[in-house]
Structure 1
Amino acid sequence: MITQPFSYITITFTNRIDKPVKLLLLSFFFTTITHGQMKGTGLPNIKNFTKTEYQSGTQNWDIHQDSNGNVYFANNNGLLQYDGSTWRTYRIPNSTNIRSVKFDSISGRIYVGAYNEFGYFESDEKGNLDYVSLIPKIRGDRYKSTDFIWKIHLLNDEVIFQSFTAAYILKDESITVIPVEGRFQFSFKVEDKIYFQDITKGIVQYKNGDMVPLAGTTALNGYEIWGIFPFETDTLLIATLEAGLFVYDGRHVVPWDTEANEFIKKNSSLGGVMVNSNTFVLNSVLGGIIICNRKGEIIQHVDLKKGLKNNTVLSSFIDSSNNLWLGLDNGISYLNINSPFTYFSSSLNLSSVYASITHNGILYVATNQGVFYHRLQGNFTDDSFKLVEGTAAQSWNIQVISDELICANNKGALVIKEGKVDRILDHTGYFGFKKIPEHPNLFIGSNYGGFTIFEITPSGFAFKNRVQGFYNSSKDFDLESGYLWMLRDQLLYQLEFSDNLEEFTVRNKFATLDSDGNGVSTLQKINNTLYFVANNHFYTYSKNFDSFREETGLSELFKEVPPINSISQDSYGNLWYSYNESESLGVLMKTRDGSYTNVMEPFSILKGNFVYNYLSVNTIDPHNIFIGMINGLAHYDSGFSSDNLTKPKVFIRTFSYGDETIVQGNPQEKPADLELPYANNNVKFTFSSPDFENADNIQYSYQLEPFDLQWSHWSKQSIKEYTNLKEGTYTMRVKEKNNYGLESEPATLVFTVNPPWYRHIVAYIGYFMLACLIVYLIRLQVRAKIRKNRYYETIEQRRLYLEKESKIRMEQYRLEKKIQKLNRDRLKTKILAKDKELVNNSLQVVKKNKILSNIIQKLKEMDTESMNDESKAQLSTLKKSITKEINSNSWNDLEKHIKNVHFDFLKRLKEQYPDISPRELDLSTYLLMNMSTKEIAEVMNISNGGVELARYRLRKKLGLGRKENLNGFLMNI
């Protein structure tokens, strides 16, 4: 695929369709939708299941469905069951190759037939399917060897098993055997009648235990009949293996000369099924299936080329949703035929679609590989789209301008006529074209390097000129108010033409259009008015005011819509939009009263399949809408009846705890009281829904009451686990929402988690009794303790009394000691005072002695020679008296007294400082007595300076610093 070197945001839209052509198209398409709900346009969505997926045998011979929606397949390896989420294979003893299956809604049994074995499956107590054989009910041994049981039919209260050799009728739990003289080929139920093909008697009808031949049917004895269908009143349609289709009117068998018959004769029939009263599905050996109407016209043909995994279709079945299951020779296919959507995909040569248009009765599709076309009057069932010659390159758009078809192609601007490129207007790659409103004979094209003007002339389109001055381009552009508006790189350009349309002027660039700063996401004309869209707000440009203003009506219309990427209005006024990064599609359908209805859910089936930023919707009429996708076209019928869209079902498929698994949703489900031991309080649930149409988009919501306070968010997750649940009763609820937005009724499962043994009611009774015993024992112990405490309390009181008495005595002792100490201190103080007084007195005596010594000296110096003897005698007596007075006050006695008083101090000082001299001891004593320097000098008979020097020497010997007080130091010794 060739792409341009830029990134673009583009919308393709439906151009007008001329009225005669539209009438022709309507007539064609109405013929394709008159067959009930069967669509003949496009192919149904096909889902294939391989052996690897369902993990069982290759061949699937028969298909049926139970009342819960589970689908069953008669498979080589056993009974294959599919619940929408999980495949399960149930085997039967002694045989695996099952050929037939039938569900009985009355008994809930699933009857199966195999080789030399037939019986039924029913649910056991855990919901699993168990097999019960009916062979023992056959009387005698002759018919117990049954060969293959090919067909099973339910008729009133009988179950009929058909093999080649006999028919086995189960009624009232007993079996009656109806043998055949020759051989039964196959048997068929048509409405309320059972027909067998007897290879010798023709077709016989089973009536009340007898086989009644039908007249004129022996003509088919040489052919294998694989299908009988109700046709018209008292008429049957018969499908044979190789001879084709026949109509039986009650007397004659005649070939059904139709298109369907030609197909069957060419590809061989393997039976089929009726879709409705007007439509048949016919299986084939070589060509897949065809779906035809009562006229024998083939509405659909689906084979290997168109999506099946195998062309040999062994069985077909219409399920409860009116969709088609096919059992293949190798695999299983599911066809969503009851859907408003069908598809044109790679099987019909289409790839990524960027635009589509109808012109002159032909549908043209622009893809990444070129432009393809198909006549609408033709048959879509057989042939494919054809490539328009010369367009094999990236094609961005296909449009009709002035009744001519023009393609925006990587090769240039291409004019297409009669299935080929008629001429190339310009070889530059183009994105699209728009007519210029003010110049009806001109239109403009956006190419890889700017814009080009083309002219509409009588002889056709012609290149006019390139517009100079602006060389960027985009697929998102339009013209209004004399300006060209272009959206590129999140910027909106306002380009103004010159008068001759040969040049552009960039008048303005807009990053946002409102105060909220929302960038422009797309631009599009709606009802001939150009709108600029920013976050779902719609704006128009006013040339008079040169400003943007919001169109509140459209903005309000899109208020509840997710932010859109692109928007397009079709010819019926419907507004199509893409959102979620162009992953999803929605439409506001216009009603007759002019209002709009928002439709989103049906398109969820297409989610993720759209070309990014290319919204391609081609509406021919409400029943025929073509939508471009990355893998082709989707055909949508908006008028498709929703009567068949039944409310979906949901099941809690399995409930697992510990090693146990309970299965729900199988027939004959037996109610069970689910009580879980506390050790298994980790549980797991799996969910399923037999909503096969779009299983990938099924969403589940669940709530475990009372654990979850509210429903969970919608999710595709089909498994939920809970761990460490507390004891109690729980209710699990699950609901499902399908791709049409329909919600199911909740499925419920109630279970109880028993408490652990230590929280069981019996345990609580034991706890209560134990508590009572403990209370009783505690009471006894408390009483004993009270008595003991009283005894110890008495002892303790006695001890406290003694301690208190002892403390009082000790306190008295301490007080006495304190008193004694105080007395000693007081006495010591008195002694010190007395010592001081004694020293003072001694000093006075010393002074007096000095005075007396001076007096004696004076007396000695007196001239005694001049004195008489009496005077001499008196003077001598006076000297003696004074000398006696001096000698009576000895200083030695005072010093001795001081040393005795301060003996302890002197002892401690001598012990601490052994090197101290006696004179220093005396000085220390005088200092301790707080004597002044003068007093010490007098006592020690030295000068005041001598005292200071002695103090200095004493401080040095005591190791005192200058700032330390000597007297305080001595007092602390």
Structure 2
Amino acid sequence: MKKLLSIILFFQIYTCACEGLGPQAVARETPPILNYPPTAYKAHKQNWALHQNADQFIYAANSDGLLEFDGSVWKLYPFPDGQIVRAVLCDDAATKAGKGRIYVGGFGEFGFWKKNERGQLRYVSLSKNLPFASLKTEEIWNILKTPSYIYFQSFSRIYRYDGKKVVEIAASGNFMFLHYVQGRLLIQLIGRGLHELIGEKLFPIPGTDSLAPASVSSILSFDQKRILVATAKHGLYLIENNTLTRWTIPLAPELTRNIINKAIVLRNNQGFAFGTIKNGLYILDQNGQLKLKINKQNVLQNNTVLALTEDRAGNLWAGLDQGIDLIRLRSPLLFYNTVGNPLGTTYAAALWKGNLYVGSNNGVFVKKWLSSEEFRPIPGLEGQVWNLSVVNDELLCGHNDATFRITESGIQKLSNVTGGWIFLPVVQAQDTFLIQGAYNGLHVYRKMANHWTYAKAIKGVPPLPIRQIVQDETGGLWLAHAYKGLYYAQLNSRLDSVLQWKELTAPKDISSTFSIEINRWKNKIYFRSGQSYFESAASGELKPATDLPPETEPYKIRTGISQEWFRVFNNRVELHSPSSTITRLDLSLIRNSETILALDSSYYFFCLDNGYALYNRNQTRSTATTATRPVLRRVMNLLNTNEDFSLKNGEVIPAPTRSLRISYALPVFGQPVYYQYRLMGLSEQWSDASQQSFVEYTNLAPGEYTFELRSSQSTATATYTFTIAPFWYETLWAKMLTVLVGLVMIIALVIYQEKRFKVHRKKLLAEQEEKLRQHRLLSERRIMEIQNENLQKEIKNKSQQLSNVAINVVRKNEILEEIRDELQQVKEELGQQLPTIHYQKLLNSIERNVAGKEDWVLFEDNFNEIHEEFFMRLRNLYPTITPSELRLAACLRMNLSTKEMAPVLGISVRGVEIKRYRLRRKLGLDPDVNLVDYMLDI
């Protein structure tokens, strides 16, 4: 029952669902925090322990198994039986227990994962065959390493492993976590004080009996003489010379209320980190003063901290009840980014009288500089703020509504000038003025009774929104329009009117009138126009800038202090120091209003869309060991992802594998890493920089290759040499045999081609002769066609001639008949005056010359000569046809008209029409068939 109660107590501590004591706003600036939710690492939300190995990979004991993170990819290694992994420890030292092992523990199981030559983890169980009956019910919650042993601990048993055998250690009761502090193994027995494990026995530590009611969550080394004891709900204690005293610090009650669950000592005297159940993380210095408080109010994923570890780069990792978070404690950047952020988007900031004033789209806010107190809004300054400037110990505010002076007791309106973007101090006749660029031109302020007061608007300046003002060596003013335009102005000595006003145009003076920016840098004035930079020339005109870094992507410049300057990109900021050192800051400033302010000699202020960031110029950079050389993770057959190859140099890849995927990583956390690679033997050209953590090669030829990899973090290069084995037919002997066989085949082919050429030549000659014969036949056929065409023409001519003859005969008969008729009439009229003998002689002569049967026979003979066998074909088709119908058909074939046919046939026109009708009936033609066309087609 006692054991059961202790386990229940433990679960109450570790799985407390309470997320806090209600909303607690945390306004303190925090270092960069990266959230890794379960959707990112694709495993259970609970993470019970964290550790880092020599390769600087992060390992997490997750409820789904062992999580590995190499900086690019998360990978899960489940327990063989799917148990929850409760503890993890990376052992990289060369001890008798082994090296390069990742020890894990869970319910009824503990052992280690170790990489094989292919870089993949393989599990070895240490508990599987142990003879301890307790293992069936024990769950390993803690793994501890000493110079000689590895300890696997549940809440009633300790299993000591020396690299060869496991020894079971039990106690008279249950206990909390075992800790190795100042060379001693310390543990609390539940309901009693602290004990020290010596050998296989536990010995009580005098003076710690008062810890009996408490639950000790952590035991840490406080300094060389003292030990810090953190309890879950009973506060903090120090042990010195077997004397237990409370560590009375202001934060102790708050830590007690929120239940301390984990605590670690931060390296390099950076203090202590406490993880609580109810309110996230607390970072304390060695004096117990609060340095950082991080919880859900400032982007921690969850307030229940289950695990803590510090990596070699000084980053703090927190295993949470819901996810894993990375806190970059050594980063020089601090962020104000809290839930319910009252500031909104920031545009201006200033330090004045020990306070930080921040201007945003929501107004002006103030708090004590570098304190954890809340921002307070300044009444009357709600709305858009563009500028906060400390001039002659007065804090001036350029607001959307007017221009104000901010005092310790409130605000005073200086003028009704709206949208004051900038104040430029100008010395004129040993007096200092302020020229203000605003929504409606330029305005002047002067000192009156030790206070800045509004003087006048400058005449001659158009009512333009002036966002930037820079004064050159001659006293002239360069002015940038808020949206479009660049101007140059010379003022009179009283600063009340313009002597010269010039507008620069594009493309004559500058490349574009949009996106104009003016910066004084390196004793020069630089102008940004579109994506180009210009500088002022001696003639007063502008010329392209020559001493800016080459533009690989668009950037803007901002000036700092002590000759420092910035290049602002869309997704980052680069800080350039006088020593040419470049510090990359992962910041995205407000688009088209990228503001970087030097608050004092130590801090830069970056305006962000949600809050702000601070950069500490004086913070010592982390000297912890960080990974600089990329690590090869896996070489895999691209066509069979289950096939891996050794990561040792000189690996021989089997011949069938010609496509590889090479995975790599650089365990640098919290900042982007860009890789470049090349494969010597394929190409000597480095690839473009990319964040992709793998590369694929396909259709690799057999041979030796060297893969080289470098990152954006350093010039250190990782190399991997391998050989693609050839197929048997790609070996030297196979190639020589192939050459020999090829030569033989070429000779055989030449001989074969000679024979084939002869056959082909004969065939070609035969084909040519056949073509000539066909050509000759074609020519003869063409001649015959031509002859036929000529014959057809001749027939047509003769047919026309025959038709003409028939017509002439008809005309002749008509004339003779007319003469006969006339002669008969003359005979009748003259009577005996015309002798009968002469009359009869003339009449007989006329009758003889009128065409008769002989003329038709002659006509038929000529017709048959022209139209061969027409009558024969017609008689064959129609055997009952009569001679008179044949004559009619002949006339129709000659296309004679009815009138022309009548004399030829010796009948009237009416008789011709009757004969045509009868012929059509005999031939059986339809009424729509043309009789003439029918005769022509026979």
Structure 2 residue corresponding to 1:56, chosen from 25, 39, 43: 43
Shift of 1:569: 4.5
CA separation in 2, counterparts of 1:691 and 1:319?
10
Q: Structure 1: which 5+ runs fail to align?
A: 1-39, 590-595, 797-913, 915-973
Could you give the per-residue CA deviations for residues 541-594 of structure 1, whole angstroms, max 9, x where no partner exists? 87xxx73588x9xx7764568798655544x432423344x65534453xxxxx
1:45 lines up with 2:32 in the alignment: yes
Q: Is the CA contact 2:32–2:328 (under 8 Å) kept in the aligned structure 1?
A: yes
Structure 2 residue corresponding to 1:688, chosen from 662, 665, 668: 665
Shift of 1:690: 0.8
Partner of 1:304: 296
Partner of 1:367: 360
1:287 lines up with 2:279 in the alignment: yes
CA separation in 2, counterparts of 1:491 and 1:75?
59
CA separation in 1, counterparts of 2:263 and 2:722?
45
CA separation in 1, counterparts of 2:534 and 2:649?
59
CA separation in 2, counterparts of 1:547 and 1:768?
76
Normalising to structure 1: TM-score of the pair? 0.68
Shift of 1:185: 1.4
The code of the aligned residue for 2:260 comes to S
CA separation in 1, counterparts of 2:59 and 2:391?
55
1:638 lines up with 2:617 in the alignment: yes
Shift of 1:221: 1.8
Q: Is the CA contact 1:648–1:737 (under 8 Å) kept in the aligned structure 2?
A: no
CA separation in 1, counterparts of 2:641 and 2:490?
76
1:82 to 1:52, Cα distance in 2 relative to 1, 3 A? same
Q: Is the CA contact 1:413–1:427 (under 8 Å) kept in the aligned structure 2?
A: yes
1:494 to 1:93, Cα distance in 2 relative to 1, 3 A? closer
1:320 to 1:198, Cα distance in 2 relative to 1, 3 A? same
Could you give the per-residue CA deviations for residues 458-503 of structure 1, whole angstroms, max 9, x where no partner exists? 1733333333431112211134545433123664322244566444
1:600 lines up with 2:600 in the alignment: no
1:515 to 1:497, Cα distance in 2 relative to 1, 3 A? closer
Structure 2 residue corresponding to 1:229, chosen from 203, 220, 229: 220
Partner of 1:522: 517
CA separation in 2, counterparts of 1:728 and 1:419?
80
Partner of 2:630: 650
Structure 1 residue corresponding to 2:563, chosen from 574, 577, 580: 574
CA separation in 2, counterparts of 1:526 and 1:673?
54
CA separation in 2, counterparts of 1:549 and 1:92?
69
CA separation in 2, counterparts of 1:578 and 1:540?
20
Q: Is the CA contact 1:398–1:406 (under 8 Å) kept in the aligned structure 2?
A: yes
CA separation in 2, counterparts of 1:609 and 1:523?
18
CA separation in 2, counterparts of 1:81 and 1:761?
45
Could you give the per-residue CA deviations for residues 796-843 of structure 1, whole angstroms, max 9, x where no partner exists? 9xxxxxxxxxxxxxxxxxxxxxxxxxxxxxxxxxxxxxxxxxxxxxxx
CA separation in 2, counterparts of 1:479 and 1:772?
85
Structure 2 residue corresponding to 1:746, chosen from 669, 694, 717: 717
> 2:257 is paired with a residue of what secondary structure?
helix
CA separation in 2, counterparts of 1:365 and 1:354?
8
CA separation in 2, counterparts of 1:690 and 1:529?
42
Shift of 1:179: 0.8
Shift of 1:212: 2.6
The code of the aligned residue for 2:567 comes to S
Q: Is the CA contact 1:406–1:414 (under 8 Å) kept in the aligned structure 2?
A: yes
Could you give the per-residue CA deviations for residues 378-409 of structure 1, whole angstroms, max 9, x where no partner exists? 623xx332222222212111111232111111
CA separation in 1, counterparts of 2:657 and 2:222?
59
1:218 to 1:759, Cα distance in 2 relative to 1, 3 A? same
Shift of 1:514: 10
Partner of 2:487: 493
Structure 1 residue corresponding to 2:498, chosen from 499, 504, 517: 504
Shift of 1:356: 1.8
The code of the aligned residue for 1:285 comes to I
Q: Is the CA contact 2:606–2:613 (under 8 Å) kept in the aligned structure 1?
A: yes
CA separation in 2, counterparts of 1:77 and 1:628?
41
CA separation in 1, counterparts of 2:170 and 2:392?
76
Partner of 1:170: 161
Partner of 2:415: 425
1:240 lines up with 2:251 in the alignment: no
1:104 lines up with 2:91 in the alignment: yes
Structure 2 residue corresponding to 1:699, chosen from 674, 679, 684: 674
1:600 to 1:384, Cα distance in 2 relative to 1, 3 A? farther
The code of the aligned residue for 2:159 comes to Y
CA separation in 1, counterparts of 2:740 and 2:668?
57
**Cα RMSD, aligned residues only:** 3.6
> 1:430 is paired with a residue of what secondary structure?
coil
Structure showing greater relative contact order (alpha-carbon pairs closer than 8 Å, 6 or more residues apart): 1
1:453 lines up with 2:441 in the alignment: no
CA separation in 1, counterparts of 2:39 and 2:478?
55
Partner of 2:307: 315
Partner of 1:261: 252
CA separation in 2, counterparts of 1:349 and 1:419?
21
Could you give the per-residue CA deviations for residues 325-353 of structure 1, whole angstroms, max 9, x where no partner exists? 00001111001112121212244544333
Q: How many residues align?
A: 720
Q: Structure 2: which 5+ runs fail to align?
A: 1-26, 763-864, 866-938
1:184 to 1:673, Cα distance in 2 relative to 1, 3 A? farther
Structure 1 residue corresponding to 2:705, chosen from 720, 723, 730: 730
Greater shift, 238-247 or 455-464, is seen at 455-464
Q: Is the CA contact 1:436–1:444 (under 8 Å) kept in the aligned structure 2?
A: yes
CA separation in 1, counterparts of 2:535 and 2:740?
81
Mapping for residues 769-808 of structure 1, pairs under 5 Å = none
Structure 2 residue corresponding to 1:659, chosen from 640, 645, 656: 640
Mapping for residues 352-363 of structure 1, pairs under 5 Å = 352-363=345-356
1:547 lines up with 2:540 in the alignment: yes
Mapping for residues 824-835 of structure 1, pairs under 5 Å = none
Partner of 1:850: none
Mapping for residues 126-145 of structure 1, pairs under 5 Å = 126-139=118-131, 141-145=132-136
1:78 lines up with 2:39 in the alignment: no
The code of the aligned residue for 1:373 comes to V
Greater shift, 206-215 or 176-185, is seen at 206-215
1:277 to 1:199, Cα distance in 2 relative to 1, 3 A? farther
CA separation in 2, counterparts of 1:524 and 1:83?
42
The code of the aligned residue for 1:705 comes to M
CA separation in 2, counterparts of 1:165 and 1:393?
63
Mapping for residues 10-29 of structure 1, pairs under 5 Å = none
CA separation in 1, counterparts of 2:592 and 2:753?
89
Q: Is the CA contact 1:354–1:396 (under 8 Å) kept in the aligned structure 2?
A: yes
Shift of 1:177: 0.6
Mapping for residues 901-940 of structure 1, pairs under 5 Å = none
Shift of 1:619: 4.2
The code of the aligned residue for 1:577 comes to F
Q: Is the CA contact 1:284–1:311 (under 8 Å) kept in the aligned structure 2?
A: yes
CA separation in 2, counterparts of 1:584 and 1:476?
23
Normalising to structure 2: TM-score of the pair? 0.70
CA separation in 2, counterparts of 1:474 and 1:69?
52
CA separation in 2, counterparts of 1:785 and 1:309?
82
CA separation in 2, counterparts of 1:257 and 1:123?
47
1:756 lines up with 2:745 in the alignment: no
CA separation in 2, counterparts of 1:522 and 1:110?
55
Shift of 1:691: 0.5
Larger Rg, first or second structure (1 or 2): 1
Mapping for residues 958-969 of structure 1, pairs under 5 Å = none
1:112 to 1:531, Cα distance in 2 relative to 1, 3 A? closer
Partner of 2:463: 471
